[in-house]
Amino acid sequence: MSETKCVYQEAKFYNRLTIVQSWKWLTIHCTESPEEHERGKKVSRWFSNPWDNKKKQWRKVSAHFVVDDTAVIQCVPETRIAYHARGLNTRSLGIELVGKAAQSRADWLDPFGLKMLDLAATLVAVLSAKYKIQLDDETLASGILMGNGGVTTHKEVTRAYRVPGGHLDPGPNFPMGVLLGLAREKALSL
């Protein structure tokens, strides 16, 4: 990923046995953490040691990438399966964006959010070019079930596979159109 600043912080849990050569989807998530400068480092460190103090057990979760206002942090190799969206893990790269699902559109588009979306758009453009993933409008649950590839959200994966207790991130106000528009612009120069 020469087009964006990327560091590696390995997640504790991911499928190390299965090698994946191609992906059909990019799944966008949010970390459910506040927009704080370099918060992605904290999230990626948590993926490397995801102990749940309340339940006194490990949380078997991970994502391929975490993006904040300053960096893209890779947590799982692209050739391996992360545990980020039940039902689509084996066909999707997971991208966590720092923020909360309850944020307003204005919150997502504040100075922190704009820096993060710019980095995320570069990542999405690079991955979509590499794996021939379309950068059309967001892929909804029905498109996932039909096998269409594209960019989707954790919410749409939850809807498609009717995951009990599934997640609804990155939330109803997430500016997917802005992210995809930026990614399409960046893809033109790759």
Element (H, E) at 6: strand 6-8
Confidence (pLDDT) at 4: 52
User: Which residue segments constitute the domains of the chain, with CATH numbers given?
Assistant: 6-187 (3.40.80.10)
d(CA 40, CA 190): 25
pTM of the entire predicted model: 0.95
Cis ω on the peptide bond leading into residue 172 (within 30° of 0)? no
Contact residues for 125 (Cβ-Cβ < 8 A; gap 6+): 3, 135, 183, 184, 186, 187, 190
Confidence (pLDDT) at 124: 98
Strands 14-15 and 81-82: antiparallel
Amino acid type, 34? P
**Which residues are registered as beta bridge partners of 21?**
none
Confidence (pLDDT) at 6: 87
Confidence (pLDDT) at 137: 85
pLDDT mean for each 10 residues of the chain (190 residues): 70 96 96 96 96 92 97 96 96 98 98 98 96 91 91 96 93 97 96
Surface-to-core class of residue 33, CB atoms within 10 Å of its CB (0-12 exposed, 13-18 middle, 19+ buried): middle
Confidence (pLDDT) at 15: 97
Confidence (pLDDT) at 138: 86
Confidence (pLDDT) at 165: 87
